[in-house]
Structure 1
Amino acid sequence: MLTACGGGKAPAEGQAATGDSKKPFAGVTLRIVGANHPWTEGIKTKIPEFEKETGIKVNLEQYFEDQLTQKITVEFTSGSSSIDAFMIRPLQEAKMFVQNGWISELTKTNDTNWDYNDFTKASTSSLIQNNKLYGIPTVTEREILYYRKDILEKNNISVPKTLDELKQAAEKLNNPKNDFYGFVSRGQRSPAVTQFSSFLYGMGGDFMADGKATIDTPEAIKAFKYYGDMLKNYGPQGVLNMSWPQASGIFSQGKVAFYSDADSIYPNLIDPKKSTVADKVGFALFPSGDKGQSPYNVTSWGLAINAKSKQQEAAWEFIKWATNKQNVTALQATGIPGPRQSVWNTEEGKKNFPAELVDVISKSNEIGKGYDRPLLINVGPARDIIGDVIVTAISGGDVDKAAKEANRAFQELINKEKK
């Protein structure tokens, strides 16, 4: 199994020992801090089962995302041990939390019943630093291509498999005079970075390599220009103000042929109460670029253990239970995309997802890259810097100049974190 380093003796300080080998932590009370999220709501309904099975009492607290980050940061900074386990956004917070010593390292051993190897590689990658595991994924998402099945069929256009084909199809279908557009994605400065990442990878680029900023390479500049041109030439008005709610909204109104974004958004697009094209939405693997096909495949939420917790073994029991195959299957059956590939292969795990989408997700799990933004502590400022180049590209500005200026600023940010 995985055991928290620093919590290797059972029971740890502050834990109750009952002498019952089946319930070694009976009498322990865990404080679990989580986000207001469908995953949390789902697991909350099952906690009584865990309490009955283990004798562990669980006090679950829920907060909005930013409130959650602020709360655990304040408590961890003060050295508090009262939080035992918590939900974490790996790509936003893991690097800082690990550097500050706030998370317990988890060491993988052979627990075949729980089966760590069943988690997709991409889902665990953002929770691994310096070859050490610091959390377990719970919720995943990938970038895919949404498209209008009826529009493509009417115009005898095949589903694009490459970015060149996507551009050709978007150009052919773009008809702004009739308020219909070829393509939409996020255009807001910071939110656009995550969706841009798959285009960047497909062109052979990346945000950084070996501690060096790489957003001014020929590959990166080509990706910026492609993404900017697609939204400038074939996108709707006001795209610079669009994050996912606005972009998905205009697609749902039947005004766009292609939409690139996270697969987790799909319920909004196929809900007749929210979408005028609910029965006309298709799902496709993110198209390949010049250098291959690498859509992001990320963990949006995971579970970790407070390094100061006095009940780390019991906290691990909770995490192991919450992420076992049975619970991942049950939550995925409600529409929450999980990190276990075996669950995607079951009828129960598939039943609330369109069949075409399941196929896309399974293939993305095999080829996806485990991050959709720079892996830095100061990820917010980094996204702003990169987002400036995207905005320049969409606005028709000098992308080469903007990329070089942004690369210098990005490198300065990287250097600060090395000190």
Structure 2
Amino acid sequence: MQRHRLLPLAAVAALGATAAQAETITVATVNNNDMVIMQGLTEAFEKSHPDITLDWVVLEENVLRQRMTTDIATNGGQFDVMTIGSYEVPIWAERGWLEPLDDLPESYHAEDLLKPVRDGLSHDGTLHALPFYAESSMMYYRKDLFEQAGIEMSEQPTWSEVREWAGKLHDPDNEVAGICLRGKPGWGENMAFVSTLVNTYGGRWFDMDWNPEIDSQAWQKAISFYVDLLNDYGPSGASSNGFNENLALFSRGNCAMWVDATSAAGKLFNADESQVADQLGFAPAPVAETPKGSHWLWSWALAIPSSSESPEAAKTFIQWATSQEYVELVGEREGWTSVPPGTRESTYADERYQQAAPFADFVVDAIRDADPLDSTLEPNPYVGVQFVGIPEFQSIGTQVGQMIASALTGETSVEQALQAAQRATERTMQRSGYLD
């Protein structure tokens, strides 16, 4: 009898051991559409990885960045996977805050990752985050409204044309704004767009000696144009609108034009998600004095902080969520316009994606054309198109973003806002040792 009882007891013990080994990893991510889809596929991951449980923290972009930065800088260990981007990865990797991803299996096909994206997430030639999706920026417009107004989209629109078109298309009585643009303050919100606008007007954040140039003529022209354009032809409350808010407005038909991330294209082209899917037109991001830096380069990526107590389980998850198999899973379950864009050559070579997403080639070309090493008309000392790749930029960009938002709401003039931004940035750069 005793021998017969040993087997079930051993089995029970084995089950107990398995349960004890099951790890819960905490994944912090932004509340963008692609990440919401990823969270919705939790069951699929846990089914294929029964020894790992996912616990999600989903936050608005500015809040996420604040939480991530505080946790990583204090070695807090709250998160096993962080959703960060092309700005943070090289800086945090250099400080030893991120796990290097130098032992990816051959089955992950790291060479399939688009080179500009892979390079942006590497430090000393080693990946320290895996790209979940990547983007440049582009212009979306309502083809039906353009046709009604007798407007023909240019092959390469200019900002002066955009202003003229916005005046013809602005129809507040029918709840249609001539144009929607980011106004919500934040280095990754309004300043992501504003920096590209300043670039194409011939401006830059710093000269080659790290002197700020925020009160320059190019900045004055760009910000005055931006404030006037949104006040004349933008939606009400534009200073509260970031990426997600404008995406909602455009998809409901409340914007005639919108210049923002290429990652919105799939959602806008999906008739289940967008009321304007059948009238969606797209064009390159507009230019002013120069095409340089007119469209950005960004990747939302999954990284493992060095403070994680479950780095192996975290690595298993981020490889799954950024793999070719994950793209296939999303394509089958959500439709091919919903797969994470901008990361893999194989996605853009897939006929199913090409057929479902007529914007595919346009997007990947914009990503490849964006040059973080040559983003301004005059030379600059930094890496980045819509950001400056130094640790201080997170606070500088956010502070300047708040000042530009105050000019947008009329609390201060453009000239006053830029003078205040210049002084504040000079103080930061002096304290940080860039300036004497």
Q: TM-score band (shorter)?
A: 0.7 to 0.9
- 1:411 equivalent to 2:426? Answer yes
Q: Is the 8 A contact 2:239 2:408 kept in 1?
A: no
The alpha-carbon deviation at position 299 of structure 1 amounts to 1.1
- The TM-score normalised by the length of structure 2 is 0.72
Cα displacement string for residues 4-44 of structure 1 (whole angstroms, at most 9, x for unaligned residues): xxxxxxxxxxxxxxxxxxxxxxx976653313633533653
Amino acid at match of 1:44: T
Judged with a 3 Å threshold, the aligned counterparts in structure 2 of structure 1 residues 342 and 206 are, in CA distance, closer, same or farther, namely farther
Shift of 1:116: 2.9
In 1, Cα distance between equivalents of 2:153 and 2:92? 42
Q: 1:345 aligns with which of 332, 349, 353?
A: 349
Alignment of 1:350-361 (within 5 A): 350=354, 353=357, 355=358, 357-361=359-363
Q: CA deviation at 1:150?
A: 0.9
Moved more, 234-243 or 207-216: 207-216
Aligned length: 383
Give yes or no for the alignment of 1:184 onto 2:180: yes
Cα distance change on mapping 1:45 and 1:352 into 2, 3 Å: farther
How high is the TM-score relative to the length of structure 1?
0.74
Contact 1:203–1:219 (Cα < 8 Å) also in 2:
yes
Instruction: Compute the displacement of 1:308 (Å).
Output: 5.0
Match runs of 1:72-91 below 5 Å: 74=71, 77=74, 85-90=80-85
| Structure 2, unpaired ranges of 5+ | 1-19, 30-34, 373-383
Residues 34-59 of structure 1: CA deviation (Å, up to 9, x unaligned): 1363353365344357548xxxx323
**Match among 36, 39, 43 for residue 38 of structure 1:** 36
Gaps (5+ residues) in structure 1?
1-26
In the alignment, is the contact (CA less than 8 A) between 1:198 and 1:372 conserved in 2?
A: yes
Q: What is the CA-CA distance between 1:277 and the residue it aligns to?
A: 3.4
Q: What letter matches 1:166 in structure 2?
A: V
Q: Deviations over 1:177-213 (max 9, x none)?
A: 6654422212233332222232223223343466443
Change over 3 Å in CA distance of 1:410–1:76 after alignment to 2: closer
> Displacement of 1:131 after TM fit?
5.8
State the partner residue of 1:166: 162
Conservation of the 8 A alpha-carbon contact between 2:159 and 2:286 = yes
Change (3 A) 1:146 1:153: same
Matched to 2:345, the amino acid is Q
Hey, what does 1:229 align to over in structure 2?
228
For residue 61 of structure 1, the aligned residue among 48, 55, 58 is: 55
Distance 1:137 1:273, change over 3 A: closer
Residue range with higher mean Cα deviation, 270-279 or 409-418: 270-279
Contact between 1:50 and 1:321, CA under 8 Å: does it hold in 2? no
CA RMSD of aligned residues (A): 3.9
Contact 2:72 2:97 (8 Å CA) reproduced: no
Q: Distance in 2 between matches of 1:320 and 1:252?
A: 32
Provide the C-alpha distance between the structure 1 equivalents of 2:185 and 2:67, rounded to a whole number of angstroms: 24
How far apart are 1:79 and its partner, in Å? Answer: 6.8
What SS class does the counterpart of residue 328 from structure 1 fall into? Answer: helix
> Deviations for 1:109-158, whole angstroms, at most 9, x for unmatched residues?
9x765443432344335433566542111122332211110121223322
Name the amino acid aligned to 1:231: L
Secondary structure of the equivalent of 1:168? Answer: helix
Cα distance in 2 between the residues matched to 1:365 and 1:92: 16
Question: Which letter maps to 1:367?
Answer: D
- The offset of 1:311, in angstroms, is 6.8
Secondary structure of the corresponding residue to residue 288 of structure 1: coil
Counterpart for residue 386 of structure 2: 372
Distance 1:181 1:307, change over 3 A: closer
Report if aligned partners of 1:87, 1:304 keep a CA contact under 8 Å in 2.
yes
Offset at residue 68 of structure 1 (A): 9.6
Secondary structure of the 1:138 match is strand
**In structure 2, what is the equivalent of residue 20 of structure 1?**
none
Q: Which structure is higher in strand share?
A: 1
Percent same amino acid at aligned positions? 24
CA contact (8 A) 1:174 1:180 kept: yes
Give 3-state SS (helix, strand or coil) of 1:372's partner: coil
Which amino acid is the alignment partner of residue 35 of structure 1? A
Of the three residues 190, 193, 196, the one matched with 2:191 is 193
Q: Separation in 2 of the partners of 1:319 and 1:347?
A: 26
1:5-404 alignment runs, 5 A limit: 31-35=24-28, 37-41=35-39, 44-47=42-45, 51=49, 57-65=51-59, 66=63, 70=67, 74=71, 77=74, 85-90=80-85, 93-94=88-89, 97-98=92-93, 101-107=96-102, 114-129=108-123, 133-160=127-154, 161=156, 162-176=158-172, 180-190=176-186, 191-208=189-206, 211-266=210-265, 269=268, 276-292=275-291, 294-300=294-300, 302-307=301-306, 316=315, 318-331=317-330, 333=336, 334-350=338-354, 353=357, 355=358, 357-368=359-370, 369=372, 372-377=386-391, 379-380=394-395, 382-392=397-407, 395=410, 398-404=413-419
Contact 2:81 2:314 in 1 (8 A): no
8 A contact 2:177–2:234 mirrored in 1: yes
Q: Partners of 1:417 and 1:117 in 2: how far apart?
A: 38
Distance 1:61 1:178 in 2: 43
Does the 8 Å contact 1:144/1:285 carry over to 2? yes
Aligned to 1:256, the other structure's residue is in SS state coil
Which residue of structure 1 lines up, in the alignment, with residue 379 of structure 2? none
Tell me the secondary structure at the aligned position of residue 63 of structure 1.
Answer: strand
Comparing 40-49 and 340-349, the one that deviates more? 40-49
Does structure 2 retain, via aligned residues, the 8 Å contact 1:127–1:136? yes
**Cα gap change, 1:390/1:215 in structure 2, threshold over 3 Å: closer, same or farther?**
farther
